[in-house]
């Protein structure tokens, strides 16, 4: 063991150095590629849809006002004012949508700004004030009021867009007159005691629960609880509006409109995975007297150090711009590159039926492909905005939610985490416990971000039933 330990430690430093060097080369290339793809998609969008599609490479003013929305920048926060025919809605968005520092972007932006300022005879901002890196503009409320009656949103783009999937599964919502989330209901229908709401994680679907846990719940549980698994806005069979910013408010309102209100949910348990944990906490804060228990799987809670900007800090933690491990490489491409990630969506999501066929052919149809279906059934617009506005944009809110759960809610809080999770480290669950001392943390050995459920669904179903039973008798 001593020799093996010394060998591993000797190989660790060279391995880290190689990872650093390769990461710098690969991500510098991706920086350039993303700029090229920006122009490629502008041309493609214009010729196919007869309209320039603004992106977050553009100045914030162009990207927002083109869709009838105005960016309002304050000292401590950034908001979107959505101009509608009835009212102005304030929507919080993450600055990581348009401010993602890279080697190429830093050089190009600083050069362009310096040239513009010198041309106008203005002193360089680097010499005036340091510390602010936001590429935003400020517009006061008077101008907002003036523009309220003048700016009109563009007509709805074709459903789906040319780079999105056009299959019936992905677009089943388009044929419905009601824009509500897809909800899979199971279990008790009459005389049920309580409801259980299941919220999936990023680029997933309700199948993450319905194909694993639902068949494994006991008859007793199914006769006691009504099980409600949803496809979040923009994912699975739920609506995927092109003009949505997929903010926390929009996600919560859709859950209320699709589940809480129509199913008349009054007392419920929540089971959430990854990104879904943020929505679960927000729901618990909004309905403190209704939540009976919170079960969080791999919650993405990263305490923000003092002096750090929360959104940018969280983006670096979730997407560290490293080629290894592979899951970090994937999350980095999805988070840092708007146009590279759109290309990946185009190749994978638009053609998911082909990938599904190939998978079945290779495995001779011996495995179920619900994970692939859940991974592919979304649009780039939905994934891009949800990733930034929910995962990154709520960096400053999660602590507040946890404190409210600790102080105002009496429900049981249970946290599960896979020991081998390379996307969300186990420390995140212990950070949750540090904010909510009564929370029970269970680390499952030899399980990762997905296999925390998939592969141990029978055992996990029993654990959930025990949590609900205990919570119901103690509250």
Q: Domain extents for the chain? A: 58-99, 172-473
Per-residue pLDDT at 61 exceeds 70: no
Strands lying side by side in the sheet with 78-83: 69-73, 78-83, 88-92
Mean pLDDT of 161-173: 88
Mean pLDDT of 250-267: 95
* pLDDT band of 3, cuts 50, 70, 90: low
CATH topology of domain 172-473: Rossmann fold (3.40.50)
CB atoms within 10 A of CB 238: 24
Taking the C-alpha atoms of residue 21 and residue 336, their distance in angstroms, rounded to an integer, is: 18
**Which DSSP symbol is given to 262?**
T
pLDDT over 90, % of the chain? 59
- What is the model's pLDDT at position 244? 86
pLDDT over 70, % of the chain? 77
- What is the model's pLDDT at position 368? 65
Q: 13-27, 58-72, 401-415, 450-464: which range is least confident on average?
A: 58-72
Examine the residue annotation and report whether 274 is marked as an active-site residue of this protein: yes
* pLDDT band of 38, cuts 50, 70, 90: very high
Q: 63-67, 295-299, 404-408: which range is least confident on average?
A: 63-67
Catalytic residue among 31, 200, 251, 380: 200
Per-residue pLDDT at 124 exceeds 60: no
Q: How many CA atoms does the CB half-sphere of 199 hold within 13 Å?
A: 33
Per-residue pLDDT at 134 exceeds 70: no
Q: 104-108, 344-348, 391-395: which range is least confident on average?
A: 104-108
Examine the residue annotation and report whether 156 is marked as an active-site residue of this protein: no
Query: Three-state DSSP class for 298?
Result: coil
β-pairing verdict for 440-444 and 291-297: unpaired
Per-residue pLDDT at 6 exceeds 80: no
Examine the residue annotation and report whether 449 is marked as an active-site residue of this protein: yes
Cβ-count burial 420-459 (b if 16+ within 10 Å, e if not): ebebbebebbebbeebbeebebeebeebbbbebbbebbee
Cβ-count burial 17-38 (b if 16+ within 10 Å, e if not): eeeeeebeebbeebbebbbebb
Mean pLDDT of 288-314: 95
Cβ 279 vs Cβ 199: under 8 Å: yes
- What is the model's pLDDT at position 342? 96
Taking the C-alpha atoms of residue 414 and residue 400, their distance in angstroms, rounded to an integer, is: 18
Higher pLDDT pick, 83 / 222 = 222
Query: Three-state DSSP class for 4?
Result: helix
Examine the residue annotation and report whether 431 is marked as an active-site residue of this protein: no
Cβ 327 vs Cβ 423: under 8 Å: yes
Higher pLDDT pick, 427 / 174 = 427
Cβ 236 vs Cβ 206: under 8 Å: yes
Per-residue pLDDT at 52 exceeds 90: no
Per-residue pLDDT at 95 exceeds 90: no
The mean pLDDT value of the chain amounts to: 82
Per-residue pLDDT at 10 exceeds 60: no
Q: 97-106, 144-153, 357-366: which range is least confident on average?
A: 144-153
* pLDDT band of 175, cuts 50, 70, 90: confident
* pLDDT band of 173, cuts 50, 70, 90: confident
Mean pLDDT of 74-87: 48
Catalytic residue among 67, 238, 274, 290: 274
- What is the model's pLDDT at position 171? 86
Give the model confidence (pLDDT) of 421-468 as tens digits: 999 999 999 999 999 999 999 999 999 999 999 999 999 999 999 999
Residue by residue, DSSP assigns 359-371 as HHHHTTT-S--HH
* pLDDT band of 106, cuts 50, 70, 90: low
- What is the model's pLDDT at position 119? 53
Which residues share a beta bridge with 78? Answer: 73
- What is the model's pLDDT at position 280? 98
Catalytic residue among 231, 421, 429, 471: 421
Q: Which candidate, 386, 410, 201, places its Cα nearest to that of 297?
A: 201
Mean pLDDT of 161-172: 88
């Amino acid at each position: 063991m001593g020799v093996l330990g010394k060998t591993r430690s000797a190989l660790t430093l060279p391995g880290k150095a190689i990872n650093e060097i390769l990461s710098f080369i690969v991500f510098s290339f991706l920086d350039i590629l993303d700029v090229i793809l920006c122009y490629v998609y502008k041309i493609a969008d214009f010729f196919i849809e007869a309209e320039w599609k603004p992106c977050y490479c553009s100045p914030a003013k162009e990207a927002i006002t083109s869709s009838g929305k105005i960016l309002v920048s304050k000292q401590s926060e950034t908001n979107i004012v959505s101009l509608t025919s009835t009212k102005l809605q304030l929507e919080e968005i993450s600055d990581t949508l348009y401010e993602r520092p890279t080697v190429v972007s830093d050089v190009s932006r600083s050069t362009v700004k310096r040239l513009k300022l010198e041309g106008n005879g203005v002193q360089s901002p680097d010499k005036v004030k340091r510390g602010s890196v936001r590429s935003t503009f400020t517009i006061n409320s008077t101008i907002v009021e003036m523009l309220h009656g003048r700016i009109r949103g563009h007509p709805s783009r074709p459903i789906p867009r040319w780079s999105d999937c056009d299959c019936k599964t992905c677009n089943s919502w388009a044929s419905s007159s009601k824009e509500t989330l897809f909800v899979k209901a199971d279990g008790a229908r009459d005389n049920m005691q309580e409801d259980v709401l299941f919220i999936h994680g990023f680029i997933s679907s309700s199948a993450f629960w319905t194909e694993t846990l639902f068949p494994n719940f006991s008859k007793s549980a199914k006769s006691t609880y009504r099980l409600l698994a949803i496809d979040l806005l923009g994912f699975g069979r739920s609506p995927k509006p092109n003009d949505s910013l997929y903010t926390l408010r929009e996600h919560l309102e859709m859950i209320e409109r699709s589940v809480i209100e129509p199913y008349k949910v009054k007392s419920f348990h929540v089971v959430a995975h990854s990104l879904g944990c943020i929505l679960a906490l927000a729901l618990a804060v909004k309905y403190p007297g209704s939540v009976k228990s919170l079960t969080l799987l791999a919650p993405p809670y990263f305490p923000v150090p003092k002096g750090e900007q929360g959104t940018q800090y969280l983006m670096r933690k979730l997407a560290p711009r490293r080629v290894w491990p592979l899951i970090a490489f994937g999350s980095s491409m999805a988070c840092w590159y708007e146009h590279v990630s759109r290309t990946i969506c185009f190749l994978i999501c638009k053609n998911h039926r082909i990938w599904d066929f190939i998978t079945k052919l290779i495995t001779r149809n011996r495995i179920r492909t619900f994970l692939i279906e859940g991974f592919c059934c979304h649009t780039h617009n939905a994934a891009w905005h949800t990733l930034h506005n929910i995962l990154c944009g709520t960096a400053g809110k999660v602590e507040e939610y946890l404190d409210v759960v600790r102080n105002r809610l009496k429900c049981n809080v249970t946290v599960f985490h896979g020991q081998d999770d390379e996307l969300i480290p186990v420390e995140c669950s212990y950070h949750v416990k540090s904010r909510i001392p009564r929370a029970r943390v269970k680390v499952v050995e030899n399980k990762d971000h997905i296999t925390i459920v998939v592969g141990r669904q029978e055992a996990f179903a029993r654990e959930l039933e025990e949590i609900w039973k205990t919570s119901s008798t103690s509250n």
